[in-house]
Amino acid sequence: MVTLSEARDALRARQGKGARYDAPEAPAEALGLARRGTAYFARVLNWVGDDALYAPSGVPGWTRAHVVADVAYHARALCRQLDAAAAGEVAAMYASDAARLEEIELGGVLPPRALRHLADHAAIHLDVTWRDLPGSLWAEEAPDSTKRMRPLSATPAEHAALLWFGALDLAHGARPRDLPVDFGGATPPRHNPTSRPRA
């Protein structure tokens, strides 16, 4: 069986000069988990018809559109934080809890095409931002969504959990057994009843 390191080296050989890669200091396994989660979430979202986006999700009080908005805006918040670190600054993910909830509420009523575009664009933007983050910055710290300080190297695993559990929250074909074993009984990262938008 080919290891992750061997597969990465083979890919770089095929891509040749000029291709851009994650820094050696980047958390390769967590990034792989997040990228697989991105693909899985996108696949499950594609199963959801446009009308079904506004039906209840697996999160009480949220529609499926709220789940999509939460995942997308979390990716954007991480991008802001990573960009701030690259500029030598420390930034909060959200201006406030109320601002985060308002953003999700607004995202939850976007038209289907706009919501799907938001999800796609946010995922690509975050992946590129991770890839271009200088190696020395992966050890820098910034507050997570609960305002606890953590290294930027924790952001891929943080977003991966949101993606995989978010796919389950879409309540449309995803199965608990699809979750990677890496989560080993982890609880959904967002499930706090006081922090949910109200339908």
Residue 170, in any domain of the structure: yes
Residue 4, in any domain of the structure: no
Residue 9, in any domain of the structure: no
Residue 29, in any domain of the structure: no
Please tell me the total count of domains within the chain.
1
Residue 122, in any domain of the structure: yes
- Under a CB-based contact definition with an 8 Å cutoff, are residues 153 and 138 in contact? yes
CATH assignment at residue 80: 1.20.120.450
Residue 198: predicted pLDDT: 38
- The stretches in the chain having pLDDT less than 50 are 184-185, 191-199
Helix (H) or strand (E) holding 143: strand 141-143
Residue 1: predicted pLDDT: 81
Q: 173: domain range?
A: 34-195
Give residue-wise pLDDT tens across range 70-122. Answer: 999 999 999 999 999 999 999 999 999 999 999 999 999 999 999 999 999 99
Residue 27, in any domain of the structure: no
Residue 166, in any domain of the structure: yes
Strands 149-151 and 141-143: antiparallel
Residue 15, in any domain of the structure: no
Distances in Å between the Cα of 85 and the Cα atoms of 15, 17, 99 are 29, 27, 21
Residue 53's nearest CA partner among 115, 5, 99 is: 115
Question: Which alpha helices (DSSP H) does the chain contain, by range?
Answer: 4-15, 28-47, 64-86, 97-107, 112-132, 155-169
